Chains A and B, each alone.
Chain A
């Protein structure tokens, strides 16, 4: 009965070429990830913009996990609510999976077992394919049976959605480079899916993929991998870390690429140190020790780790030690939702640690920026002699995104900041580690071991004078604190500048966003513009705010500030640091753990 229903034409009759959302409901740990990736990558190779999101549990095996793919030839690749096509491989989540399909949508399921009446909706189309039975019949190894069930549905989808078989083969070839034996059983499974569709259903559907040339030279990469590569290119030599979702793949990527490109050709030894610390206190402590001693060093963590690192961040701020901290934000507070996304560490990052502290914070929006900002953060840390906090998030870090390709200027040199050599020291009468020689608040430093009698100093978290001598003298303390503010002001024009979406002011109303809200915000702006609402827009890329940020904010009367946290944290920073009237900053928020959507934004603006 169901299949005859499926044979009927699309229930809406509308054609959706290169514009739909398909969601895969799987069980964690059943090997669905590579099959789902194959699906996404084939569409990408057909030149059509596509972005996947993993919606996964904090669990290793057994719980429901979803993979949601948005195909959109206009390049709107933020998350979109509502599922056009559901591939349901998980009986556990069947109820909610049926419910979230949009009217007129499709539902593919494993018909090896009978589908209960309670799951039948009149307004959607069902494709029952006996995936388990087919896989069991074709493969003998239990693990293969499990895995290829997934590949069979990818084959079926390719027929239904008009995905080129050669594109799939193509992806398999690159996926299994060096393991060619694995290609033919995969192709066999794909073909089984295609054949089943040919025999049982009308295809392709109105909802389908058509080849385009819109991807150009883009790559599909996750932000954490891009950060890891950025750290290799930025010259990091010490990485100390402690595992935590969703940051773990950042240091792992660093290690992976460093182990390829940082091996001494003669000795085979490593031009980097990669240390799993006993906790985050130790991880940041090691990074700080290395930074103090002249190595480019970093750690990566997520919210709970940043909380633990606070004391050390205050030390690095006050003692002026370069260090890079990559925070892949997840849903807080406390353990929160470890596998969901958020931008809720903004305040914590800006003012981490007790006492008067302020930090440099960078907000990458794309994998390309993850790479660029990570590499740049090592320059900034050494130039400014202070911690640099790079705030990515789970959505950017752990999901593949279509991105501009990574680029490196081979003439670029590392900016090591104000470091005195032995020769420099010879020429200096009276070295003062915390003297503001140049008036920019940035003092000169020396590496341990530089000169037998000159340039040594004592680094401490206690108060000191300009010559690094311990002091409890109020004036010396205050002078030092004021110099740190001068340095902070210097930083404003050194950090990545904001992006303005217009050359000159077009509206008194503006929208401001940062980080991964870029995808939804740009789409929302586009939709609103079509509806006649014109707004100026600015994407903030860093803290402290530069003069251009301040001018933009001051020249608009009403500013929507888009964020993925409950407390409108960037808005607070804008109020605090630029003295902006709270009434003109209107929060636009999403904090349910899922990436923000254009609809979320539009509904709060109108």
Chain B
């Protein structure tokens, strides 16, 4: 737990186009354990939103229950937040999004929250292609209830208490691709150079964007033998390629070493630029993305980076054909058909 947060800010902190410093994207002081991976992800969210010039009050942060689900309090204090019930963030996010299509919806969940109690909701929010960023802070363990194995723990992974997990893991990224998620990426909380560009691309994606982020639990699952520890993640992360998020109009300047450089232009003209490490993988082909994940798994590696993207998805509002004006802004003049029509309706029941 971080007890002290310096209130002194350097007067010349850089400002974004809205005139905000990154401090204006922060939340309240985290009460998570010092070194918890989740805190690094919060920091990355702050940075991504700051760099993208997002108006903080145009964001809604939603979560379920768990240490991970507490994090929305720790970023974007000027956004409305909703810490709901265990495993049910997707439903609340769906309703919220239906009410107002104009906000950016960032959902945070844990591996227990998503892969166990909330598995049904996880699956169905993907099917609906809700326009949101869904971040699973995946530590392979139930942090908040003190260290039980979660459904994403690898077979043979050893808990801090010494028990060996006998069950195969649920691979949320493959599952998301399989179910038709339109943006799927994987990352590691300790790799902010990769995480921030991926978050920015996810935020700009006009459909369901899933980010599965390995996020070690220092208190209950960071021991040798755990496959969700810092050490394991560092040693076994295999990257689809270093990614850079290139905003609209910015010239691409980053220079890469050898290998193939791929640029994926996103829907609004911004781009994700890759230095691809795996030639058989094509991020716009679901089968190749799933194969790449499975090949990495066989090598005991965790494949990180962008895995799959469908650049022109049909999100829920398009599917439902809802009005251009957000539903929460419609008033009685539009919503109430009036008494004359009601009298016609009565006539049909006579």
A residues near B (Cβ < 8 Å) are: 44-45, 174, 217-221, 229, 232-233, 235, 237-238, 240, 257, 261-262, 264, 267-275, 277-279, 281-295, 297, 311-312, 315, 405-410, 412-414, 446-453, 456-462, 469-470
Contact = CB atoms under 8 A, between A and B. Distances in A.
Nearest to A266: B324
B323 A267 contact: yes
B267 interface: no
Contact of B100 (A220, A294, A297): A294
12 contacts: A219-B346, A269-B324, A285-B95, A289-B94, A289-B98, A294-B99, A295-B99, A315-B84, A407-B339, A449-B100, A450-B57, A451-B57
A223 B337 CA distance: 19
B121 A449 contact: no
Interface string B57-82: 11010100000000011000111111
Contact of A293 (B79, B99, B342, B343): B99
B13 interface: no
Given A282-B120, A408-B338, A449-B80, A289 B93 contact: yes
Interface residues of B, number: 61
A270 B99 contact: no
B199 to A, nearest CB: 20
Nearest to A453: B78
A406 B345 contact: yes
Contacts of B57: 448-453, 456
Interface in B129-182: none
Nearest to B98: A273
A269 B99 contact: no
B99 A290 contact: yes
B350 interface: yes
A272 B327 contact: yes
Contact of A237 (B121, B328, B339): B328
Contacts of A232: 335-337
B91 interface: yes
A270 B323 contact: yes
Contacts of B94: 240, 275, 282, 285-286, 289
Given A406-B345, A452-B78, A459-B82, A238 B338 contact: no
Given A292-B96, A406-B342, A461 B84 contact: yes
Contacts of B218: none
Interface in B103-135: 103, 120-121, 123-124, 128
Contacts of B78: 452-453, 456
Given A221-B349, A232-B337, A452-B55, A459 B80 contact: yes
A219 B73 CA distance: 53
Contacts of A286: 91-92, 94-95, 98
B83 interface: yes
Given A220-B350, A290-B98, A448-B60, 12 more contacts: A221-B349, A274-B320, A275-B98, A283-B91, A285-B90, A289-B96, A292-B82, A292-B96, A293-B60, A449-B60, A449-B100, A459-B80
B102 interface: yes
A458 B327 contact: no
- Give the top 4 A-B pairs by smallest Cβ distance, nearest first: A289-B95, A285-B91, A295-B99, A448-B80
Interface in B189-246: none
B59 to A, nearest CB: 8
Interface of B: 28, 55-58, 60, 62, 72-73, 77-85, 88, 90-100, 102-103, 120-121, 123-124, 128, 320-324, 327-328, 330-332, 334-339, 341-343, 345-346, 348-350
Nearest to A219: B349
B256 to A, nearest CB: 39
Given A294-B100, A315-B84, A237 B95 contact: no
A270 B321 contact: yes
A282 B91 contact: yes
Contacts of A220: 349-350
**Most B CB atoms within 10 A — which of A232, A279, A408?**
A408
A271 B330 contact: yes
Contacts of A451: 57
Nearest to A240: B95
B342 A408 contact: yes
A459 B81 contact: yes
B80 A270 contact: no
Contacts of A452: 55-57, 78
B98 A238 contact: yes
A235 B81 contact: no
A232 B72 CA distance: 35
B291 to A, nearest CB: 29
B91 A461 contact: no
Nearest to B56: A452
A45 B338 CA distance: 27
Nearest to A457: B80
Contacts of B339: 407-410
Contacts of A238: 95, 98-99, 327
B320 A293 contact: no
Contacts of B124: 277-278, 282
A266 B35 CA distance: 55
B60 A461 contact: no
A297 B99 contact: yes
Contacts of A409: 339
Given A289-B99, A297-B99, A273 B322 contact: yes
A414 B336 CA distance: 10
A289 B99 CA distance: 8
A219 B90 CA distance: 42
A448 B79 contact: yes
A316 to B, nearest CB: 10
A219 B338 contact: no
B87 to A, nearest CB: 9
Contact of A233 (B79, B120, B121, B337): B337
Contact of A461 (B77, B83, B324): B83
B95 A414 contact: no
A312 B99 contact: no
B73 A458 contact: yes
Contact of A295 (B55, B60, B93, B328): B328
User: Which of B72, B80, B128, B320 has the largest count of A CB atoms less than 10 A from its CB?
Assistant: B80
B335 A277 contact: no
Contacts of B88: 281-282, 285, 312
Q: Looking at A267, A286, A407, which has the most chain B CB atoms within 10 Å of its CB?
A: A286
A277 B98 CA distance: 13
A452 B339 CA distance: 40
Given A269-B322, A285-B92, A286-B95, A311 B328 contact: no
A483 to B, nearest CB: 20
Nearest to B102: A449
Given A453-B78, A460-B83, A261 B337 contact: yes
Nearest to A282: B91
**Which has the most chain B C-beta neighbours within 10 Å: A277, A283, A412?**
A277
B350 A270 contact: no
A453 B103 CA distance: 16
A283 B94 CA distance: 10
A414 B322 contact: no
Contacts of A218: 350
Nearest to B350: A219
Given A219-B346, A452-B78, A282 B121 contact: yes
A159 B79 CA distance: 72
Nearest to B82: A459
A237 B99 contact: yes
Nearest to A222: B349
A235 B335 contact: yes
Query: In this complex, which of B28, B96, B120 has the most chain A Cβ atoms within 10 angstroms of its Cβ?
Result: B96
Contacts of A272: 322, 327
Contacts of A295: 95, 98-100, 327-328
B157 to A, nearest CB: 30
A273 B320 contact: yes
A45 B347 CA distance: 12
